[in-house]
Amino acid sequence: MNVSVAALPAHQVEAEGLIVGVPEGTTTPAGALAALDAATGGVIAEVLGSATFAGKDGQVEVVYPLRGAKAKRLALVGLGKDALTPETWRQAVAAGMDALRGKVRTVALLLPDGLDAATTPTVEGAVLAGYKFEAYHTKKDDDDRRFTGLTVVGGDEAAAQRAAQLAAAVCWVRDLSNMPGNVLPVPELLTRACAFVEEAGITVKVIDGDDVLKQGFGLLEAVGRGSQYLPAFLIAEYRGAGDDAPWTALVGKGITFDTGGVCIKPRAGMEEMKTDMHGVATVLGALRVIAERKLPLNVVALCPMAENMPDGDAYKPGDIFKAYNGLTVEVLDTDAEGRLILADALAYAVKHYQPKAMVDVATLTGSIIMALGYEATGLFSNNDELSRALLASGTETGERLWRMPTWDVYAENIRSDIADVRHIGKAKGDAITAAMFLKRFVGDTPWAHLDIAGPSWLAEAKTYHAKGSTGVGVRLLVDWLERN
Ligand code: BES
Ligand code: MN
Ligand code: ZN
């Protein structure tokens, strides 16, 4: 979508549709709305005076044909009566776009009153709401339902372009996690990932083939051995600060498809496991934005990639493997593969980068969906300050986090009789067990684990998300890195 700003009165902006927000209980148009109302023959005042539109949260009224403006359609979107937040505004923008979808292809948005720096959430909401995964329709008969242009009336040009870049990175993450497993096996994920970050001047290093085992990634190798595609480990470095400045490490789960392996998953819903590399896509998406913004930080993204398949050579329950940090791990369920590949990556990050902070992102457990549903990411951390910072970014970006415990009492659950550690527990609460397992690989490094299994995927479209992958986590990480 082409994003621009215009310094014109709304009625003079070249766009087929206009979207404006209206706080609940507004009876007469004020501010920019008043000017638009005057130009369009009082049509806004008329709608506000009607019994059918009260400006309630999520309520939308479309005026057509609009006279006196270049746009032929006007969507009035209710903003409710609470103070406007970036997130409520993003959602309002999406509601306006939903109402105009298929009717117009270019929209102009009026910035709402009472929201600082409103250009950013305006562009984010609009670009994200305009997203559609459409790589595989051979007939593009949906063309008229796609938005091509967005103009922010009175917006800040620099902020608009930054937000557009950020939203484009989120859409890249969505595209990759929506792609089926056959299209995006490890080598293809690797190629696309490298190309995407290299475009922003990020340097990459790949450990693959025999080197995975030779260099000590015993868990990653184990998970990937049932697949015809060998596992790989991608290291992407962005050096925006000096050589002496400490690193921040981002680690993502990159399972290109998760069948469960020998402990195979039930058929129902298995196709969703094409999104099990969302974590890798998320951290690379964030890294690219950080590089595009030239932030004065050193950030490294560590991306273990594998396909979890059953096969004659696949790993089995009861197998024991040596992790990158030397710990021996007893595997009891081959479907708990994510924590294994992350463990090697976390240990690698600690050893080679001594990061001042480390965050991993993973579609890790069904258990976190039982706990938090689809509305929040599970946050697990050994550090209160890091947790607070991430929680604040969650609120700012609308990507909600909820902190879960990592008390030592839970560690009992992963004690193994025949190895240093087992990777699943005997008790309930697997999302916590998984985090306790990861914690064994981070040492004293301030670390947070984000289990995005819930919010990364939607069975139905919601607010500014289409059905399928949401691209969750990119905006969160960028916000956090930018402020810290
Ligand atoms: N990728 C899944 C977790 C998942 C489930 C993500 C549903 C998104 C939606 C993970 O690898 C997995 O299979 N976890 C198992 C662990 C269990 C075997 C201990 C799970 O949650 O069932
Ligand atoms: Mn699994
Ligand atoms: Zn998985």
Specify if 348 maps to a domain. yes
Specify if 161 maps to a domain. no
Percentages helix, strand, coil for the chain, rounded to the nearest 5?
A: 35, 20, 40
Q: Which pair of structure tokens corresponds to residue 102?
A: 């298929």
Q: Which residues contact 40 (CB under 8 A, 6 or more apart)?
A: 11, 63, 66, 67, 68, 69, 74
Task: Find out whether the beta carbon of 424 lies less than 6 Å from any atom of ligand 1.
Answer: yes
- Interval between CA 266 and ligand 2 midpoint (Å): 11
- Interval between CA 260 and ligand 2 midpoint (Å): 5
End position of a domain, from candidates 153, 182, 209: 153
Q: In the sheet that 17-22 helps form, which strands lie side by side, from edge to edge?
A: 2-6, 149-153, 106-110, 17-22, 73-78, 60-63
Ligand 1 binding pocket mutation candidate from 365, 369, 433 (most atoms within 8 A of CB): 365
C-alpha to C-alpha distance for 423 and 441, rounded to whole angstroms: 12
Task: Find out whether the beta carbon of 258 lies less than 6 Å from any atom of ligand 1.
Answer: yes
C-alpha to C-alpha distance for 347 and 220, rounded to whole angstroms: 12
Per-residue pLDDT at 134: 84
Residue the block writes with tokens 């720096």? 117
Q: Are residues 228 and 146 in the same domain?
A: no
Task: Find out whether the beta carbon of 451 lies less than 6 Å from any atom of ligand 1.
Answer: no
End position of a domain, from candidates 120, 153, 186: 153
Residue the block writes with tokens 């890798």? 280
Q: Are residues 172 and 126 in the same domain?
A: no
Q: Are residues 94 and 185 in the same domain?
A: no
Specify if 158 maps to a domain. no
Per-residue pLDDT at 141: 63
- Interval between CA 262 and ligand 1 midpoint (Å): 14
Specify if 209 maps to a domain. yes
Per-residue pLDDT at 145: 85
Q: Are residues 145 and 175 in the same domain?
A: no
- In tens, the pLDDT along 70-80 reads 999 999 999 99
- Interval between CA 131 and ligand 1 midpoint (Å): 27
- The three-point CA angle 154-98-29 to 5° equals 45
Q: Are residues 149 and 175 in the same domain?
A: no
Q: Are residues 369 and 460 in the same domain?
A: yes
Task: Supply the CATH number for residue 67's domain.
Answer: 3.40.220.10
Task: Find out whether the beta carbon of 338 lies less than 6 Å from any atom of ligand 1.
Answer: yes
C-alpha to C-alpha distance for 158 and 156, rounded to whole angstroms: 6
C-alpha to C-alpha distance for 165 and 276, rounded to whole angstroms: 24
CB of 6 within 8 A of CB of 109?
no
Q: Are residues 121 and 180 in the same domain?
A: no
Query: Taking ligand 3, which is a single-atom ion, which protein residues have CB atoms under 5 Å away?
Result: 255, 258, 276, 338
DSSP conformational letter for 230? P
- In tens, the pLDDT along 261-273 reads 999 999 999 999 9
**Coil, strand or helix at 242:** coil
Q: Position 398: which residue type?
A: G
Ligand 1 binding pocket mutation candidate from 223, 309, 335, 430 (most atoms within 8 A of CB): 335
C-alpha to C-alpha distance for 235 and 215, rounded to whole angstroms: 14
- Interval between CA 13 and ligand 3 midpoint (Å): 48
The residue ranges of the chain whose pLDDT is under 70 are: 140-141
Task: Supply the CATH number for residue 407's domain.
Answer: 3.40.630.10
Nearest to 123 by CA among 145, 102, 153: 153
Per-residue pLDDT at 144: 79
CB of 109 within 8 A of CB of 36?
no
C-alpha to C-alpha distance for 366 and 360, rounded to whole angstroms: 17
Query: Taking ligand 2, which is a single-atom ion, which protein residues have CB atoms under 5 Å away?
Result: 258, 335
Q: Are residues 188 and 323 in the same domain?
A: yes
* CA 267, chain centre distance (Å): 26
Q: Are residues 296 and 359 in the same domain?
A: yes
How many residues comprise the chain? 484
CB of 355 within 8 A of CB of 343?
no
Specify if 124 maps to a domain. yes
Strands 73-78, 17-22: pairing kind:
parallel
Task: Find out whether the beta carbon of 335 lies less than 6 Å from any atom of ligand 1.
Answer: yes
Q: Which residues are identified as catalytic? A: 265, 339
Specify if 456 maps to a domain. yes
Instruction: Give residue 58's domain range.
Output: 2-153
Alpha helices of 179-257 — where are they, by DSSP H? 186-198, 211-214, 218-224
Specify if 282 maps to a domain. yes
End position of a domain, from candidates 153, 182, 213: 153
Q: Are residues 145 and 65 in the same domain?
A: yes
Does pTM top 0.95 for this prediction? yes
Q: Are residues 146 and 173 in the same domain?
A: no
Report the run of H or E that residue 20 belongs to, with start and end: strand 17-22
Specify if 159 maps to a domain. no
Q: Are residues 118 and 193 in the same domain?
A: no
Number of domains in the chain: 2
* Residue 118 backbone phi and psi in degrees, to 5: -70, -15
